[in-house]
Homo-oligomer: A and B are copies of this chain.
């Protein structure tokens, strides 16, 4: 069996997927990878500006959208309608449980949902069925912080 290379944060490969290798794209992809969770284009842009690696907001959007189109990023929408992007190292399709307080995300075992969705698709006769599953809650840390900070 072939030995899989460990996907070290190598934005260069990812950038190559979406067009010319530019400094801005590299910076954006790097930041997305290091964000290690869901981030909005706005947040990423703000962070880059703060890190003295300013990249135009449009470029951030264009790069993230291209990445998502290339299948290298997951895209969800938060409660307010903002798009959140997350770097996806592998080709597999995952679902996440996201903390609404701190943004922490952890992958969950979505096997049962995949099966369920497949069944529905079969039974319904619908073709090309895609599914969106989002779980959001308050993570234990934030929960504790809240309990302590907000006595009701």
Which residues in A have some Cβ–Cβ distance to B below 8 Å? 77, 81, 83, 97, 99, 106, 108-109, 112-113, 116-117, 120-121, 124-140, 143
Contact = CB atoms under 8 A, between A and B. Distances in A.
Given A113-B113, A113-B116, A116-B112, A129 B124 contact: no
A137 B127 contact: yes
User: How many subunits of this chain does the assembly comprise?
Assistant: 2
Chain A facing B: main interface SS? strand
Nearest first, the 9 closest Cβ-Cβ pairs linking A and B are A129-B137, A126-B137, A132-B134, A125-B140, A127-B143, A127-B138, A112-B116, A131-B135, A108-B120
Contacts of A81: 77, 81, 83
Contacts of A136: 129-132
A139 B132 CA distance: 17
A92 to B, nearest CB: 18
B126 A138 contact: yes
B128 A131 contact: no
B106 A124 contact: yes
A143 to B, nearest CB: 4
B137 A124 contact: yes
